[in-house]
Amino acid sequence: MSRNSGIGLVSLGIVLGMVGAILRFATSVHTSGFNIHKIGDILLLGGIVAFVVGLVILALGARSGSTTGPEISEASSGQPQAGERDDWRMP
């Protein structure tokens, strides 16, 4: 996953958490057969989970990276050869 996915999950978590908190703590509606406070609890919990997962993805995305540079190796004839190399190793 890319770093943008982490930013999106963090944003989604914040929005879900805000909507869930509003439904849970700022409403005083009582309905029969449908509990709006439970929906708020579920959205709040989902927002917290999305926020934490997004932070983990951001932390892992910051540590890993890709470097591309010329790789010079010696051919069997003894002449230097230039090529491209991708490094996906974690530090």
Angstrom distances, CA of residue 27 to CA of 21, 24, 45, 73: 9, 7, 17, 69
pLDDT at residue 53, as a whole number: 94
Summarised one tens digit per residue, pLDDT across range 25-48 is: 999 888 888 889 999 999 999 999
Which residues of the chain are under the pLDDT cut of 70?
1-2, 62-91
Return the closest-CA partner of residue 11 out of 39, 44, 46, 51.
51
The domain spans of the chain are: 3-66
Report the C-alpha gap between 14 and 20 in whole angstroms: 10
Which tokens belong to 10? Answer: 């963090």
pTM score of the predicted model: 0.64
pLDDT at 4: 79
In the numeric block, the tokens 């879900």 are attached to 16
